Amino acid sequence: MRFAVLADIHGNLEALNATLKVLNSCTIDRFIILGDLVGYGADPNACTEIIRNIKAVAVAGNHDLAAAGKRSLETFTPYAKEALLWTRETLNDDNKKYLSSLPVLSEFQAFTIVHSSLDDPEKWKYVLDESDAETNFNLLKTDILFIGHSHIAGVFGSNYPEKNISGSSFNHEKKIQLLPRTRYIINAGSAGQPRDGNPKACSLIYDSAKQEVQFHRVEYNIPLAGKKIIDAGLPPILANRLTGGY
């Protein structure tokens, strides 16, 4: 099976469409969405509808649940809060219902998906270093965990039985051969708001037969996505940061 994995689309329709165009030119059996479909970007309805239409397997991110009115806006930054209030107003009832219905964690035979961390998923912790990774490996029941949330692509590996953990993040296209006797935490980066200095939309394809992960970076119409953010009256920094990838 070949799985296309996307995280943190954040209502960026231009990034999502460009990414899907590239992914659909490859053979994909299933789309996996790691949460934060909405928030920040100007097209929350269109992005949510695309994900619903492609019948993706998805988990909820903190922005999805806040935008759907399922959690408070208290812990968000002022810019995120402002965008979430706008997103709440803009999302239609069907899309809110869909986002509310998403689980925060899903476990399959070959892998587990969660937006942030297996360590109390609704506390929205980040997995940034070996210590965070160790906590997650201890809770992980499958060989692979896919996560998002940090908007930075990266991979941690833990061999067994030794349990030596090593990891790295990267901001370019990269192919990774998954090794036997090793478990992995794979951060899919962000399709709609990369924060690794590379503004190109990030996604990956996981080929379970070849045990291979290929990260893709796709160019998209950043000026248009930014213009829509400005035109919607959202904070200009949300447009500017797309250009710099921060």
Q: Which residues bind Fe ion (CB under 5 A)?
A: 8, 36
CA–CA separation, 86 vs 90, rounded Å? 6
Question: Could you tell me the two tokens for 221?
Answer: 């119409």
Give the nearest distance from C-beta 87 to Fe ion in angstroms. 13
Closest residue to Fe ion, judged by C-beta, is 36
Distant-in-sequence, close-in-space partners of 25: CB < 8 Å, separation ≥ 6 = none
The length of the chain is 246
Give the nearest distance from C-beta 149 to Fe ion in angstroms. 6
Amino acid present at 203:
S
CA–CA separation, 42 vs 25, rounded Å? 26
Sheet holding 144-147, edge to edge: 105-107, 111-114, 144-147, 182-188, 153-159, 165-169
Give the nearest distance from C-beta 220 to Fe ion in angstroms. 17
Question: Is 8 or 196 the residue whose CB approaches Fe ion more closely?
Answer: 8
Give the nearest distance from C-beta 150 to Fe ion in angstroms. 8
Question: Is 108 or 126 the residue whose CB approaches Fe ion more closely?
Answer: 126
Question: Is 14 or 64 the residue whose CB approaches Fe ion more closely?
Answer: 64
Question: Is 8 or 143 the residue whose CB approaches Fe ion more closely?
Answer: 8
